[in-house]
Amino acid sequence: MSDSRDPRTGEPIPEMCADPKSAENSPRPPARQALMTISKATYFKEAALKNLFLVCACVAVAGVALIFLFVGLEGWPIFAKVGVFNFLGGLKWYPTKQFFGILTLIVNSMLAMIGALAIGGPLAVGTAVFLSEVASPRMREIVRPAVELLAGIPSVVYGFFGLVMLRPIVAHVFGGLGFGLFTVWLILAVMIVPTIATLTEDALRSVPDGIREASYAMGATKWQTIWRVLLPAAKIGIIDAIILGMGRAIGETMAVVMVAGNARVIPDGIFKPFLTLTTVIVLDMPYAAGDHRTALFGVAIVLFIISMLFVAAIRVISRFGKEMS
CATH code: domain of residue 243: 1.10.3720.10
Q: Examine the fold and report which residue of 50, 82, 114 is the final residue of a domain before the chain moves on.
A: 82
- Identify the H or E element spanning 313: helix 291-324
3-state DSSP call for residue 15?
Answer: coil
Q: Do 52 and 108 reside in the same domain of the chain?
A: no
Of the candidate ranges 33-47, 165-179, 238-252, the one whose mean pLDDT is the lowest: 33-47
pLDDT digits (tens, 9 = 90+) for 97-130: 888 999 999 999 999 999 999 999 999 999 999 9
Q: Is residue 17 very low, low, confident or very high in pLDDT (cuts 50, 70, 90)?
A: very low
Q: Do 171 and 109 reside in the same domain of the chain?
A: yes
Q: Among candidates 196, 181, 180, which has minimal Cα distance to 120?
A: 196
First to last CA, the chain: 66
In sequence order, what are the residues at sequence separation of 6 or more whose Cβ sits closer than 8 angstroms to the Cβ of residue 267? Answer: 108, 111, 180, 181, 273, 274
Asked whether residue 61 is domain-assigned, the answer is yes
Is 19 a residue whose pLDDT tops 90? no
Of the candidate ranges 32-36, 138-142, 293-297, the one whose mean pLDDT is the lowest: 32-36
Q: How far apart are CA 314 and CA 281, in angstroms?
A: 27
pLDDT digits (tens, 9 = 90+) for 302-322: 999 998 888 888 888 878 766
Give me the number of domains the chain comprises.
Answer: 2
- Identify the H or E element spanning 93: strand 93-94
Q: CB of 198 within 8 A of CB of 148?
A: yes
Of the candidate ranges 7-21, 82-96, 165-179, 193-207, the one whose mean pLDDT is the lowest: 7-21
Task: Provide mean pLDDT across the span 154-162.
Answer: 93
Q: How far apart are CA 239 and CA 251, in angstroms?
A: 18
Please give the single-letter amino acid code of residue 247.
G
Q: Do 41 and 158 reside in the same domain of the chain?
A: no
Q: Is residue 42 very low, low, confident or very high in pLDDT (cuts 50, 70, 90)?
A: confident
Q: How far apart are CA 265 and CA 275, in angstroms?
A: 7
Q: CB of 93 within 8 A of CB of 262?
A: no
Q: Examine the fold and report which residue of 15, 48, 82 is the final residue of a domain before the chain moves on.
A: 82
Q: Do 106 and 71 reside in the same domain of the chain?
A: no
Q: Do 112 and 192 reside in the same domain of the chain?
A: yes
Q: Are strands 99-100 and 93-94 parallel, antiparallel or unpaired?
A: antiparallel
Q: Do 77 and 161 reside in the same domain of the chain?
A: no
- pLDDT of 18 reads 47
One-character DSSP codes across 242-311: HHHHHHHHHH--HHHHHHHB--SS--SSTTS-B--HHHHHHHHTTT--THHHHHHHHHHHHHHHHHHHHH
Q: Examine the fold and report which residue of 22, 57, 82 is the final residue of a domain before the chain moves on.
A: 82
Asked whether residue 1 is domain-assigned, the answer is no
Average pLDDT over all residues of the chain: 86
Q: How far apart are CA 150 and CA 133, in angstroms?
A: 21
Q: Do 42 and 176 reside in the same domain of the chain?
A: no
Asked whether residue 10 is domain-assigned, the answer is no
Q: Is residue 158 very low, low, confident or very high in pLDDT (cuts 50, 70, 90)?
A: very high
Is 209 a residue whose pLDDT tops 60? yes
- pLDDT of 7 reads 55
Q: Do 73 and 90 reside in the same domain of the chain?
A: no
- pLDDT of 311 reads 84
Distance of CA 59 to CAs 62, 68, 239, Å? 5, 14, 29
Of the candidate ranges 16-20, 132-136, 141-145, 194-198, the one whose mean pLDDT is the lowest: 16-20
Is 46 a residue whose pLDDT tops 90? no
Q: How far apart are CA 117 and CA 243, in angstroms?
A: 10
Q: CB of 216 within 8 A of CB of 225?
A: yes
Q: Do 167 and 69 reside in the same domain of the chain?
A: no
Query: Residue 40 sits in which domain range?
Result: 36-82
92 burial (CB, 10 Å; 0-12 / 13-18 / 19+) is middle
Task: Provide the CA 21 distance to its chain's centre, in angstroms.
Answer: 65
- pLDDT of 161 reads 94
pLDDT digits (tens, 9 = 90+) for 243-264: 999 988 998 889 999 999 988 8
Q: Do 163 and 185 reside in the same domain of the chain?
A: yes
Q: What percent of the chain has pLDDT over 90?
A: 49
Q: Is residue 325 very low, low, confident or very high in pLDDT (cuts 50, 70, 90)?
A: low
- pLDDT of 307 reads 87
Asked whether residue 48 is domain-assigned, the answer is yes
Q: Is residue 225 very low, low, confident or very high in pLDDT (cuts 50, 70, 90)?
A: very high
Is 149 a residue whose pLDDT tops 70? yes
